[in-house]
Amino acid sequence: MRQSSSISTNTRVAALCGLLFITAGSLSAQNQGVGWWRFDETAGQAIADSSGAGNNGFLGSTTAADPADPAWLLPGRLGPSALGFFQQTLTQVPLGNTLQPAAVSVQAWVQAPDSPGTFRYIVGKGASGCLAASYALYTGPDGGAAFYIFNGSNFVVSPLAPASSVWNGAWHHLMGTFDGSTVHFFLDGAEVGSGTSSAGTQIAYNLPTSNDLFIGNYAPAGCALPFTGNIDEVRIWNQALSPAVISTLATKSCNFVSVGVTPKTVAQGGFVTISGRVQNCLASSQAIVVEFDTMTPCTKSGKISIPLTLPANSSVGLSLPLFIPSRTCTGSYSVRATTSIGGFPVTMSSATLNVTP
């Protein structure tokens, strides 16, 4: 039976007020990587990068609506929406020099009722004709799933996960890593095989056809390598994540977090309540950290961290009464809640607060 409880954090209110509405500074979150596309927008053409690296992208071939736009899927694997890909649809992130690390980890949550086909691209950075990307998650020669790197002439491909283990209608977590010497692939947090040695091969960037990041397809479209299915929570790190962290991201992502603000509009000198709820759907307890942070219209920002140990199969509520000082700048605030396990952000939710004179 699921347990439910609530924690009131009145003792943190003064600190939270100071952090969120007075102290100037910049947000920094450990290990958020160089790209985090949550696909939580639910509509529109833009896909925001939640990593803080500024690698924002768009649906389709252009920033305007076009036939290459994938469809918004509600709900997603970890949030309100994901993207559904079909035929020649795609999303792309222009250039992105921070997406060109020597060591890399690439994540995606995927779902399809059967194999999308052979050599279909889930995530790929750049393109050299119809030959290869710099690195990619794709379905490989057997229609399953694998990860590879490319040095401009040669591939190094990870062991391949069989199609029946990946494409069966359920959501699955894919992670490919390269640490400078070995290419690894993980399915649902467990490594497939034991990696492939690169034998000195390193990743080549600035390929001749494209240097953009593509999700759900390969560039150019004439290569006819589109993915058919659903994709959520694409993330890229400039390091090779450890197996323990990958397992955390894959198997403990059922730590959902939600955040709300009541009322949504408040005058300077008023009070609001920031509420959150964290859920642990595993059969064991977990130590997590919930971070509340805000971005303000006067370029101030701040955050507060609340460590918690969640019992097995539990749901914990947080309540943060908050005073809005009279000198607070007016406008729209974005309040976010993020759960982190072992220093790595796993899930995120956000709400909007409007402050008026």
Measure CA 124 to chain center.
Answer: 16
Q: Which of 237, 261, 290 is the last residue of a domain?
A: 237
CATH number of the domain to which 332 belongs: 2.60.40.3880
Strand partners, 316: 5, 278
Mean pLDDT over each residue of the chain, to the nearest integer: 85
Q: Which of 209, 237, 265 is the last residue of a domain?
A: 237
- The answer on 286 and 206 residing in a single domain is no
Inform me whether the pLDDT recorded for 18 exceeds 60.
no
If phi > 0 it is left, if psi is from -120 to 50 it is alpha, else beta; for residue 299 that is left
Domain annotation covers residue 242: no
CATH number of the domain to which 98 belongs: 2.60.120.200
Inform me whether the pLDDT recorded for 212 exceeds 60.
yes
**Spatial contact of 180 and 189, defined as CB atoms under 8 Å apart:** no
- The answer on 182 and 76 residing in a single domain is yes
Exposure string (b/e) for 237-269, b if CB count within 10 Å is 16 or more? Answer: bbbbbeeebbbbbbebbebbbbbebeeeebeee
- The answer on 164 and 52 residing in a single domain is yes
Among 59-63, 211-215, 236-240, 243-247, whose mean pLDDT is lowest? 243-247
Domain annotation covers residue 247: no
- The answer on 159 and 100 residing in a single domain is yes
- The answer on 330 and 288 residing in a single domain is yes
Per-residue model confidence (pLDDT) at position 262? 93
- The answer on 293 and 231 residing in a single domain is no
Per-residue model confidence (pLDDT) at position 248? 81
Inform me whether the pLDDT recorded for 20 exceeds 80.
no
State mean pLDDT over 224-233.
96
Number of domains making up the chain: 2
Per-residue model confidence (pLDDT) at position 13? 35
If one compares 28 and 149, the residue with the highest pLDDT of the two is 149
Tens-place pLDDT, residues 95-133: 888 999 999 999 999 999 999 999 999 999 999 999 999
In this prediction the pTM is 0.79
Domain annotation covers residue 243: no
Tens-place pLDDT, residues 261-313: 899 999 999 999 988 777 776 677 877 777 777 767 775 566 778 888 888 77
Tens-place pLDDT, residues 26-75: 223 336 689 999 998 999 999 999 888 999 999 999 999 999 999 999 98
Domain annotation covers residue 300: yes
- The answer on 14 and 64 residing in a single domain is no
Domain that holds residue 343: 3-28+252-356
**Spatial contact of 353 and 333, defined as CB atoms under 8 Å apart:** yes
- The answer on 61 and 10 residing in a single domain is no
- The answer on 300 and 268 residing in a single domain is yes
Q: Which of 237, 269, 301 is the last residue of a domain?
A: 237
